[in-house]
Structure 1
Amino acid sequence: MQDQLKLLVIGSGGREHAIAKQLAQSPHVSHVFVAPGNPLMNNSRDISTVEISENDFDALKGFVFDQGIAWTFVGPEDALCAGIVDSFLADGLKIFGPDKKAAQLEGSKDFAMQFMDRYHIPTAKYKTYQSAAEAILGLKDFAEPVVIKADGLAGGKGVVIAPDKKTAENEIQLMFRKGQKQVVLEEFLAGDEYSMFVVLGQNEYRILPMAQDHKRAFDGDQGLNTGGMGAYSPVPQLSQADYERMVKEVVEPTVKGIWQAQFNYCGLIYIGMILTEQGPKVIEYNVRLGDPETQVVLPRIASDFAELIDAAVNHQQLPQVVFSSKAVLGVVVASAGYPKAPKTGQKLPELKDEDDVWIDYANVLGEPQAITGNGGRLVTVVAQADDLKEAQAKAYQTLEKYKFEDCFYRHDIGYKATRKTFE
């Protein structure tokens, strides 16, 4: 790997802030640009933002050529599904992410389920419908509760778990009224949910640290599904035997399927799994790092993350990934009203990094002394410690120091692990 590399990260949220910081730690990297980023990312001398939209491919490519960027790391799914990788590769530019065809694993729930069927990857019983009337009729084939998924990108908010048939009918009608061309009905899978991230090279892969996300808006897993309200890593309640089963029954056939399908896939795949009584089953694929899992997974990588990605984009042998023994937990602060009608413009307190506690900024404006919210998820407070209970305490002790107006956060991030492990 060469030295003094300049890199570009596409995106603007907490995930991209965490990616940029992790890449900037490499001794081989001289600077990381983030496009479009957010103003609070400019606090580091090694990171700066560029005012180019993540979907303005021509302007992004022009910047890469002008600055001599070694390679580009794509954060958000929208750009991947829109074909940013295809566009960059067509001009001979190195980029980390799957092409447009492969990105359908996230962009279309039906495409993903058909992929799992084809390559014998365990998942839920499902069926896809092209009209509200057909889907409502199809409800008779599913027990309550029933899972309803919009077939397309929805920022982590396109899944509804309907407790009864009447609620399901209303949600189906609403999805089609909003312009959905098809929806997927799935059986509800009971069990703990886990997030696994896999870096794919040309003919090998590396698994990153495991994490667990908290999707529901409020404490006790209540409220609407969100893009994620917090996460932690590792997941000590997951046994080694169950982990190995996940790798054998889910990861290996997924990776082999991607290669057999001959996707142009030099990038990351996120596998969201439910550990059911019958074993692990996939609930979704993402074709990029997750948010807020990225904020807790990347700090647990003790080896050079930039070196790993550099090897992937240059089709070289992937180095081994070394995990830190530390535990990392992150709590998301979101705007009041999120996810349906988040407020904007609220003033946020001046947040400061501390020993083993830091801030990853997302949808915010301003500068450290005058931060305002811009809707949705605003910041992630991330804490690191020797174990999860200590990391959990550090994160919440930090949050309690500040007054957040027109904002909320969950008070139980990590409780599934700390309750089971430390009682």
Structure 2
Amino acid sequence: MPFAVYVLGLAVFAQGTSEFMLSGLVSGIAADLNVSLSAAGLLTSAFAVGMVVGAPLMALSSRTWPRRRALLVFLGVFVAVHVTGALTPHYGVLLATRLVGALANAGFWAVALTTAVALVPAGLKGRATAVVVGGVTVACVVGVPAGAVLGEQWGWRSAFWAVALVSLPAALAILLGVPGGRGAGTGPAPVRDELRALTGPRLRPTLVTMALVQGATFCTFSYLQPLLTRETGLGAGWVPAALALFGAGSFLGVTVAGRFADARPAAVIAVGMTALALGWAALARTAGSPLLALALIPVLGMLAFGTGTALITRVLGLAPGAPTLAGAFCTTAFNLGAAAGPWAGGLALDAGLGFRAPAWVSALLTALALLLAAGTTEGRRSRAGERRPSAEATGARRRP
């Protein structure tokens, strides 16, 4: 595996830490900037919106740049907005930095995914994708808890400074390790050709499937704390441990999926989604048992991010004619799920269905993803059967 691929994973680690760390910092931000908790929570929403909108826009705006330049520009903007956020005393400025930082993060993700798979031979594309996505899982295990500790000890601004500092060695390594050109070919494919490649009958359902799987993941993940403390009966001190278990399982899932997604992507996705649907339902049913809940959490993290990695590999493999936009649409689908999942879980909670309801919603979303994938496969087989000539017809054409 080229060193540059691991460098991209390091940068994604810093950016993933920034994306998720506010869950442990909102109280400090609200108090310091004299705003409400809900206003502080909008900082997370702004980041999600920036990721969804920014991925295709940033990928298009940088499509004529060499990959190394694009990665350095996006990472440089990301560092600058975190320094600004750490210094500003104004909520409005901080909100703007979260939006701009998300745009830069989305652009980096889109370019990083396509760069990673371009740097390796065909048989290693799944592993390269796993290394990049693994940066997010390491952020969940290490970066987010570390940001919470920094915020507790030295204030929320110290976490912003830490993200900026961690990004600097990644920028230097990209400068030294990522090739400066665009790779094979004389230039970017026309935008119209890339958009046409993204409208294939197999690609669109795969992107929707990815959004549904990620929606299921973040639906329960976002409300894991009330589930554990109010249904399972665990103390608040167990919540960081449970989150770390989920992150550790996610890292394992990404690693394992990276080794098998190239050879049998359809099998990895089908098995992963089936196990996920059963797993979310099992968590909802057994949430009252601390032992069973804590045992299921890392397994669900492994299945969720392993399946997600295989889906990303699948999208990139289905869209070789869209080298710029394929990674961008993966990023958009991922973050659409990350935004819609918590919303759906919140609706279930507001309806008075109980703290287990988000896990049931996750099971439902994964079941919908399974039905969509199955329908797509059946439709593809039907079309192939229609195109295949019958034995009688073949024989008739051969007879004089």
Greater percentage in helix: 2
Larger radius of gyration: 2
Q: TM-score range by the shorter chain?
A: under 0.3
Q: Which has the higher contact order (CA 8 A, sep 6+)?
A: 2
Q: TM-score, normalised by structure 1?
A: 0.26
